[in-house]
């Protein structure tokens, strides 16, 4: 019989012991211990408890086919980044080029020849020429790996969000050559704000945080025998590298985006005039499961260009 606060925790943990699956038992027991410790440590009031229950319910209510508020708040609290870093780089003991998948990957982007442009309709943003290299943990090139890439326009919008962009604009799939290399042309992406119309917005406002992700290009690298790697390479010149709203930026993923000008240096494509950029990055993949995740989105939005809402970071 429960006669004190401590008895509640003991009673719940005793019931957890009934779970047949050992891993489920372990996860549930830790969750109960930490949740109860949180209530004790904070002396959580009844009103605060009601408020938190409302926030959790709202996370689910705002989640749909094209938006996942639960994943967004996990990122905004650093949980996604922690899970990623703990499960890659030899169990978190080495630097890794793995990163968050993000909500904007679409399956089936067009397969392209090495060096091809993935700019499929007139798109704001300077040209950028990207060269990547995929190696294993011993530094040996991985040939024949599929590399699916995607990025925003110079206005910070993915094609699926922006009806003005062609289907699959700034998306493409490449295959590494015998040296593990691949290359392509796109436009230099811009940073973009994460949605703040729900609990994530309330969280950021409460802390005086901005809602920007630094500019980045996404990479999804897969080959049978290797763990599928989601990666993002962030622009070294972005002002928000240290304050990514999703805590995704790691030292291993700050890419050197180098600015050039055709006045002094011709671009790889002679048709380019003026400012252009280049980026080279090396990705290290590990042995493991090569399956692909379920795509978080399936198609393009129709109608108006979405209105982006920006939060300022308070000093």
Nearer to Fe ion, 102 or 132 (CB): 102
213 classed as catalytic: yes
Q: Which of 171, 213, 277, 281 is catalytic?
A: 213
CB of 253 to Fe ion, least distance (A): 12
CB of 100 to Fe ion, least distance (A): 9
Q: What b-and-e string marks burial along 282-294, b requiring 16 or more CB atoms within 10 Å of the CB? A: ebbbbeeebeeee
| Residues contributing to the site for Fe ion (CB under 5 A) | 102
181 classed as catalytic: no
Nearer to Fe ion, 102 or 180 (CB): 102
CB of 305 to Fe ion, least distance (A): 17
Nearer to Fe ion, 102 or 255 (CB): 102
Q: Which of 158, 226, 234, 257 is catalytic?
A: 158
Nearer to Fe ion, 218 or 260 (CB): 218
Q: Which of 171, 210, 216, 281 is catalytic?
A: 216
Quickly list DSSP for the chain. ---SHHHHHHHHHHHHTT-SSHHHHHHHHHHHHHHHHHHHHHT--HHHHHHHHHHHHHHHHT-BTTB-HHHHHHHHTTHHHHHHHHHSHHHHTS--------S---S-PPB--TT-B---S--SS-EEEEEEEEE-TTS-B-TT-EEEEEE--TTS--GGG-TTSPTTTTEEEEE--TTSEEEEEEE----EEPP-SSHHHHHHHHHT---EEPPEEEEEEE-TTB--EEEEEEETT-TTGGG-TT----GGGEEEEEEEETTTS--SSTT--SEEEEEEEEEE--BS--PPPPPS--S---SSPPPP--PPPP-
Nearer to Fe ion, 99 or 222 (CB): 99
CB of 209 to Fe ion, least distance (A): 18
CB of 246 to Fe ion, least distance (A): 9
Nearer to Fe ion, 16 or 279 (CB): 279
CB of 202 to Fe ion, least distance (A): 22
36 classed as catalytic: no
Q: Which of 171, 185, 210, 218 is catalytic?
A: 218
Q: Which of 106, 171, 185, 192 is catalytic?
A: 192
34 classed as catalytic: no
Give CA–CA dist 98/208, Å, rounded: 29
Give residue number: closest CB to Fe ion.
Answer: 102
140 classed as catalytic: no
Active site members: 158, 192, 213, 216, 218
């Amino acid at each position: 019989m429960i006669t004190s606060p401590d008895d509640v925790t003991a009673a719940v943990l005793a019931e957890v012991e009934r779970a047949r699956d050992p891993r489920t038992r372990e996860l549930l027991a830790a969750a109960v211990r930490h949740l109860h410790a949180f209530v004790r440590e904070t002396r959580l009031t009844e009103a605060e408890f009601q408020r938190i229950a409302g926030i959790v319910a709202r996370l689910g209510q705002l989640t749909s086919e094209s938006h996942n508020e639960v994943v967004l708040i996990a990122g905004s609290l650093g949980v996604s980044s922690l899970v990623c870093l703990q499960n890659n780089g030899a169990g978190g003991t080495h630097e890794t080029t793995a990163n968050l998948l993000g909500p904007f990957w679409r399956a089936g982007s067009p397969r392209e020849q090495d060096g091809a442009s993935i700019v499929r309709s007139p798109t704001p943003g300077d040209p950028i020429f990207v060269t990547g290299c995929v190696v294993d943990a011993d530094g040996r090139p991985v040939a024949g790996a599929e590399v699916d890439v995607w990025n925003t326009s110079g206005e910070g919008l993915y094609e699926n969000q922006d009806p003005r962009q062609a289907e699959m604009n700034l998306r493409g799939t490449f295959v590494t050559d015998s040296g593990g290399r691949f290359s392509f042309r796109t436009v230099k992406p811009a940073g973009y704000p994460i949605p703040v119309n729900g609990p994530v917005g309330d969280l950021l406002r409460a802390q005086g945080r901005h809602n920007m992700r630094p500019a980045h290009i996404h990479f999804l690298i897969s080959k049978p025998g290797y763990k599928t790697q989601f990666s993002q390479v962030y622009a070294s010149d972005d002002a928000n590298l240290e304050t990514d709203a999703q805590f995704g930026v790691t030292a291993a993923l700050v890419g050197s985006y180098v600015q050039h000008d055709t006045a002094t240096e011709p671009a790889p494509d002679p048709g380019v005039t003026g400012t252009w950029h280049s980026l080279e990055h090396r990705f290290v993949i590990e042995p493991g499961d090569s399956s692909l995740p379920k795509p978080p989105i399936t198609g393009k939005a129709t109608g108006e260009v979405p209105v982006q809402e920006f939060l300022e970071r308070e000093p």
